[in-house]
């Protein structure tokens, strides 16, 4: 894990409120694994100077670049979105337990909104292609699906307002795919409700599901306990895990909801 001053090399606006930034951070790009995140601080601009966690959307070790796909939701992300190309931010990373890369059967990736970010880095590094199940409130929350299709992934879309794909939650197309008793390994990133639903389905079908938890974080390095999650140890006892360093990726059976 290193703490570096990273220059913004590029800014690519997506749908309303979402964008992808390219950062020059060679030491972090060289180490980054799918599922890990960076802890980013918008220096000088932000009064609180707190860092914010963002999944690594992609990394190019040869070019020394990192990619972050984010949504503007509050103070920190508003300040980040106001920075021009050439500005710098402080970046600590890579942090956390990555996704395992040895799927049994077909990889099923499940995400929504910015939850698709770690899934793209994962898709690029898995040994085989599979299906991306992507959900959102509306069509504007369905991001970057063309990249997955071009890379040979099947894409199943669901929107709650029915503006794109199957109407309803992302679990609607997922349930259809699981109904045939397929051998699959699930990987998901999104809000707790979605992760819980994906985990329940994996357990019911006897499959593994790797869930990337989205918890509010402060230190990002295991010191403050702001991000704890109740988990079940291998011996059946319960404990508190720090999502920043013991996760953010947990297998569904480890999590006590």
Task: Compare residues 98 and 107 and give the one whose CB is closer to ligand FES.
Answer: 98
Quote the CA–CA distance of 255 and 209 in Å, as a whole number: 11
Work out whether strand 228-232 and strand 131-136 pair parallel, antiparallel, or are unpaired: unpaired
Q: Which residue is nearest to ligand FAD (CB)?
A: 74
Angle between helices 171-179 and 192-204 (to 10 degrees): 10
Local structure of 99: helix, strand or coil: coil
Task: Compare residues 54 and 250 and give the one whose CB is closer to ligand FAD.
Answer: 54
CA neighbor of 10 nearest in space, from 72, 73, 58: 58
Least separation in angstroms between residue 169's CB and ligand FES is: 29
Residue 227 interacts with ligand FES (CB under 6 A): yes or no:
yes
Residue 168 interacts with ligand FES (CB under 6 A): yes or no:
no
Task: Compare residues 128 and 216 and give the one whose CB is closer to ligand FES.
Answer: 216
Residue 220 interacts with ligand FES (CB under 6 A): yes or no:
yes
Considering only CA atoms, give the Rg of the chain: 18
Residue 239 interacts with ligand FES (CB under 6 A): yes or no:
no
- Which of 40, 244, 252, 255 touches ligand FES by CB under 6 A? 244
DSSP string, 27-96: HHHHH--TT-EEEEE-TTT-SS---EEEE--EEETTTTEEEEEEE--SHHHHHHHHPPTT-EEEEEEEES
Number of residues near ligand FAD (by CB under 6 A): 20
- Which of 4, 189, 213, 217 touches ligand FES by CB under 6 A? 217
Structure-token match 């049994």, residue found: 104
Contact mark string toward ligand FAD, 205..244, x via CB under 6 A:
---------xxxx---------------------------
Q: Among ligand FES, ligand FAD, none, what binds residue 75 when CB lies within 5 to 8 Å by partner kind?
A: ligand FAD
Backbone angles phi, psi at 4, to 5 degrees: -130, 160
* List of residues contacting ligand FAD (CB under 6 A): 37, 52-55, 69-71, 73-77, 114, 117, 214-217, 248
Which positions touch ligand FES (CB under 6 A)?
217-220, 222-227, 242, 244
């Amino acid at each position: 894990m290193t703490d570096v001053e990273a220059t913004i090399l590029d800014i690519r606006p997506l749908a309303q409120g979402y964008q992808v930034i390219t950062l020059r951070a060679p030491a972090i790009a060289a180490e980054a694994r799918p599922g890990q995140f960076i802890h980013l601080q918008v220096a000088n601009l932000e009064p609180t100077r707190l860092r914010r966690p963002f999944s690594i959307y992609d990394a190019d070790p040869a070019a020394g670049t990192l990619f972050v796909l984010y949504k503007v939701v509050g103070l920190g992300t508003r300040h980040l979105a106001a920075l021009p190309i050439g500005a710098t931010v402080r970046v600590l990373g890579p942090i956390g337990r990555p996704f395992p890369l040895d799927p049994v059967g077909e990889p099923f990736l499940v995400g929504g909104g910015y939850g698709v970010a770690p899934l793209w880095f994962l898709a690029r590094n898995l040994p085989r292609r599979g299906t991306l199940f992507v959900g959102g409130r509306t069509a504007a929350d369905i991001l970057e699906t063309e990249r997955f299709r071009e890379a040979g992934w099947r894409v199943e879309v669901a929107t709650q307002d029915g503006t794109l794909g199957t109407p309803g939650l992302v679990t609607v197309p997922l349930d259809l795919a699981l109904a045939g008793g397929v051998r699959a390994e699930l990987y998901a990133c999104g809000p707790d409700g979605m992760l819980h639903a994906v985990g329940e389905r994996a357990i019911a079908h006897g499959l593994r599901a790797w869930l990337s938890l989205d918890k509010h974080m402060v230190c990002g390095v295991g010191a403050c306990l702001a991000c704890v999650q109740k988990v079940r140890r291998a011996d059946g006892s319960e404990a508190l895990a720090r999502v920043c360093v013991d996760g953010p990726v947990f297998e569904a059976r480890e999590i006590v909801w």
